């Protein structure tokens, strides 16, 4: 799951990244908390 692709819609502009990129630098951030939970992507 950690290398799963994520598409972020920021003001109508779509960006593609990975969970690894969003969670690599810091611990206890919005994204590390979000992706640490059990959830189903659409």
Predicted confidence at residue 9, as pLDDT, reads 94
User: pLDDT by residue (tens digit) across 1-42?
Assistant: 456 888 989 999 999 988 888 777 777 777 777 777 655 555
Whether residue 42 lies inside any domain: the answer is: no
Query: DSSP alpha helices (H): ranges in the chain?
Result: 19-23, 30-36
Whether residue 30 lies inside any domain: the answer is: yes
Whether residue 41 lies inside any domain: the answer is: no
Whether residue 27 lies inside any domain: the answer is: yes
Whether residue 29 lies inside any domain: the answer is: yes
User: How many structural domains compose the chain?
Assistant: 1
Whether residue 32 lies inside any domain: the answer is: yes
Asked if residues 41 and 4 have their Cβ atoms less than 8 Å apart, the reply is yes
Query: Shortest CA distance to 32 belongs to which of 7, 24, 42?
Result: 24
> 30: domain range?
5-36
Predicted confidence at residue 15, as pLDDT, reads 95
């Amino acid at each position: 799951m950690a290398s799963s692709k994520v598409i972020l819609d920021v003001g109508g502009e779509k960006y593609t990244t990975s969970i690894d990129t969003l969670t690599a630098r810091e611990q206890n951030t919005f994204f590390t908390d979000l992706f640490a939970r059990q959830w189903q992507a659409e």
